Amino acid sequence: MGALPIINHFLELTGVDEALQRFLPQPGSRDRLSPAIGVGILLRNILVSREPLYSLREWCRRVEGCLLGLPGSGAELLNDDRLGRCLDKLFEADRAALMTAAVVQAARGFEVNLEELHNDSTTVTLSGEYGDAKGQRRNGKSTRRITHGYNKDHRPDLKQLLYLLTTTAEGAVPIWCSVEHGNTTDDKTHIGTWSVLRELVGRP
């Protein structure tokens, strides 16, 4: 059982499972695993033990199915392909709205002070060519371009992505993050970040 009951308690307070059910598509008649449940299992696994996809079935066998939203023998439903399709559904969903809903619920549940926020960026430096990561649209969704830019790790020879994080001034609680093209400059991110934060805190 381990830490899962405690994790489930906090996920309930933050409304994560509810947000997944709301924003991910409902399973079709031929789907044996709900996308929301599949992503929820992946999230719990990351928090507890970070098993690779191919080991998740074995991990779930060691856990009470009810703690994962699965029936008694539900672990048998898990395989690489099904979990991969769940991640595809997450990619296709309105992830920004999903994250906003979870953050708003968490801020209410834990009475997080949103009066003052801090925002900063860093680079995620990558090794390799990433020739397919050109920022093209996939399934109607935009993707990010892994490319050269101003590298904050002082490695201009390597490609990168730009990672943005906003935290509360009190307690440095992360409330928003986003990823931009590797050659995006900070000044081009402020308006978009400001608009999202206004929606999160519910004021101009």
Distance from C-alpha of 83 to C-alpha of 71, rounded to nearest angstrom: 17
Q: Does this model's pTM top 0.85?
A: no
Contacts 24+ apart (CB under 8 A), 87-94: 87/38, 87/39, 87/42, 88/139, 89/24, 89/25, 89/35, 89/39, 90/24, 90/35, 90/39, 91/138, 91/139, 91/141, 92/25, 92/139, 92/140, 92/141, 93/23, 93/24, 93/25, 94/23
Average pLDDT, the chain: 92
Question: pLDDT band at 76, cuts 50/70/90?
Answer: confident
SS3 helix, strand, coil % of the chain, rounded to 5? 45, 15, 40
* pLDDT value of position 143: 93
* pLDDT value of position 105: 92
